[in-house]
Amino acid sequence: MSTFVLVPGAWHGAWAFDAVTSLLHAAGHAVHGLTLTGLRPGDDDATVANANLDTHAEDVLRLLDRAEIADATLVGHSYGGMVVSAAADRAGDRISRLVYLDAYVPQHGDSCWSSTTEAYRRSFVDGAADTGFAVRPPVRAGRVGDPRRRPHPLASLVQSIRLTGAIDRVPRREFVFCTGWPDGTPFTGLRDRLRADPGWQVHDLPTGHDAMREAPHLVADLLLT
């Protein structure tokens, strides 16, 4: 039996992985979905304003402690790649596998802000205009966003990650590249870099960015390999 910890991307909660969670449970595995600090329905403005990348890494570490998990597969989607990287670097030998599901794979000193495209940086700034600390979920023409999405803590998107190199000792590291973005993926360069690195496995999925909702069976099958 494997133990999976599923970390969603910006604006999302554990609900984003519901279909994948059900499939992993049905296959006999333990699954923990996380809704990060500042994204929970009861979080007040002060909680959102003070949540940063370190806060979110601590969310993962607290879960490992609380559930007494000593051999985890961390799965991060999109911004969640920043979170699982920071957590894995601090988790000692408790992480056996990292899966970046169309997610950022940072190096020391990177942030989501520095790693993303100019269009996303503009959306962060525009989305935070109301409060200065919480980024509204983006609205894209012709698409209806999930109503469960919540404003995302700006500090977590701009804070630089601190990595000691301990993450490099995780035995299994994988990147999942989603090929079906309708308007072009920001992850092509990252896929090419990791594909050339013998320490990484790279998988392609014929889905849009939200693969866990568009094709949960494909995502679950990949996680179960």
Per residue in 157-216, pLDDT tens?
999 999 999 999 999 999 999 999 887 788 999 999 999 999 999 999 999 999 999 999
Task: Return the bridge partners of 74, or none.
Answer: 5, 98
The reported pLDDT for the residue numbered 183 is 77
CA distance 18 to 195: 29
The reported pLDDT for the residue numbered 182 is 80
Evaluate whether 219 touches 212 at the Cβ level (below 8 Å).
yes
Rounded to the nearest 5 percent, the helix, strand and coil shares of the chain are 40, 15, 45
**pTM more than 0.85:** yes
Which three-class secondary structure state does DSSP give residue 153? strand
The reported pLDDT for the residue numbered 144 is 59
Q: Which residue is associated with the tokens 């989603």?
A: 178
The reported pLDDT for the residue numbered 7 is 98
Which residues are known to be catalytic?
Answer: 78
One CATH from 3.30.420.40, 3.40.50.1820, 3.65.10.10, 3.40.640.10 for 3-223:
3.40.50.1820
Q: Consecutive 10-residue runs of the chain (225 residues): their mean pLDDT?
A: 96 98 98 98 97 98 97 98 98 97 98 95 96 92 76 98 97 96 87 95 96 97 96
- What are the distances in angstroms from CA 76 to CA 165, 176, 186? 19, 10, 16
